[in-house]
Amino acid sequence: MKQQILDGRVVSIQELKRYQSLDADSSLINTVVSLAKEEPQFPPLYFVVVRFWVQWFGNSVAVTRSISAFIGLLAFPCIYWLCLELFKSPLTGWIAMALIAISPFHVLYAQEARPYSLWTVTILLSSATLLRAIRLQTKLSWVTYAVTLVLGLYTYLYFALVAIGHAVYAIATEGFRWSKTTVSYGLALLAAALIFGFWPLAVIVNRPSLHNVSGFWYNSATRQHLLNRWATSFTRVFIDFGSGFPHSFRELLPLVPFILSGLLLVGYAVYLLYRQTPKRVWLFVLTLIGSQLLFLMLPDLILGRWRLSGETRYLIPCYLGIELAVAYLLSTKITSIYPKLWQQKLWQLATGLVLLAGVVSCTMSSQAQVWWNKGYSQDDPDVAKIVNNAKQPLLIGDDSPNAVISLSYLLNPNVSFQLVARPSIPKISKKFSEVFLYRASDTLRSRVEQEQSYTVKPASKNHKIVLWRLIKQ
């Protein structure tokens, strides 16, 4: 796409959208090889599924996103099964299903054309099959668990952290001794690792340049900024009003009541789980939560960056563990016999408030054009409104074409684009009624003014200017 689009020629919206359609000349092998070359951090399972889905039903946005939504529905039976294996309680399973169904985080990422809903399902499925294998101790149950490990590893690389948590759990429940369970787990993990080894081999054969691969970049952050992001992230499992990540305490202040309520709920849920359940229960939930916290949050805290733990989607196993703990808390409290009736009523009210917060959050996000998870596109609705008012507009940019494609879905068909690779500048045609610079670099703006006799003025009054209007001198 970059080779064919960033050449300074004028292209239409339809030409841009062609790169989000299935190429009739490409094959399934091309999809896998492309990922190995350009995005090796993404194993191919989800993208292979989407490819077949689009072949059957078409290239529309709704079709492409719908496969994630359908896969996300599988999380309901999976978490119910996991609760039966873990707590032996159907009520806890129903409450856990309800928490996922109205969780603003899960609902948001079940609409993404990305592998996160499939990753959620594989985490829950592998966890349930592990507990079943430990309980039954049959060859078939351990083979089933090994298959779920393969599915998880071919879905998302961070699933390896889930497998590490499972290993710690299997070893710790056996008292760190050699037993039938530890041997069976080791064989299942070894088999899964050997089958998954084909993907690292494909990546090595294609030898991608890591500096050209998205995902291998890091953002520096103060520890205060990190703590703000973490506090906000953990509450979004239950409540989300669309605010971005706070950078300062002043931005964090309006969220403090919700953050404190969420952290108190989670903290008490984990405490009660530890005090009231056997080791095989609380240890599983804690390893599911802790595997992510230890390997993602601790390095970021030490190195002062937020690339790993600051991205909420990387913490999905942690969120699932939290939801299991909260489901156990609520199911226990609303069925307990109290000396005074008001105590039970209080917990019933708390359960209703947790569910209400999720419903309200999902309602708000469903009505919004852009939500916090699309930070790069926050200004697109305002930009589209300005550009669509022009009769025959031209948008010029030297930023990533991904941002332009995202914006193009909000623009009228008469809008044209002219994109260049930095530090080039395009030759601007005079046939357009208005010319705009979109997310243009300082170099492009200054060179257009100096070399092509234009005056560059901001086209909007937003605090972050992403659109400029060109006026001929």
- Taking a C-beta distance cutoff of 8 angstroms, is the pair 430, 10 a contact? no
pLDDT digits (tens, 9 = 90+) for 231-248: 778 888 999 887 666 656
Counting residues of the chain whose pLDDT is more than 70, the rounded percentage is 92
Domain count, the chain: 2
Q: Which of 59-63, 208-212, 340-344, 411-415 has the lowest mean pLDDT?
A: 208-212
Residue of higher predicted confidence among 133 and 429: 133
Please report whether residue 391 resides in a domain. yes
Residues 13 and 65 in one domain: no
In a domain? residue 34? no
414 in a structural domain: yes
Give yes or no: residues 208 and 276 share one domain.
Answer: yes
Q: Which whole number is the average pLDDT over 296-309?
A: 71
Domain carrying residue 89: 45-49+51-372
Lowest mean pLDDT segment, chosen from 44-58, 118-132, 367-381: 367-381
* 301 shares its domain with 401: no
pLDDT of residue 246: 61
Shared domain check, 77 and 196: yes
Last residue of a domain, one of 352, 372, 392: 372
The reply to whether 213 and 321 lie within a common domain is yes
Q: Which of 309, 337, 372 is the last residue of a domain?
A: 372
**What's the pTM value of the predicted model, to 2 decimals?**
0.91
In a domain, 27, yes or no: no
Q: Are residues 445 and 413 in the same domain?
A: yes
Q: Are residues 108 and 13 in the same domain?
A: no
Domain match, 182 and 203 both: yes
pLDDT of 207 over the 70 cut: no
For the segment 14-22, the average pLDDT, to the nearest whole number, is 85
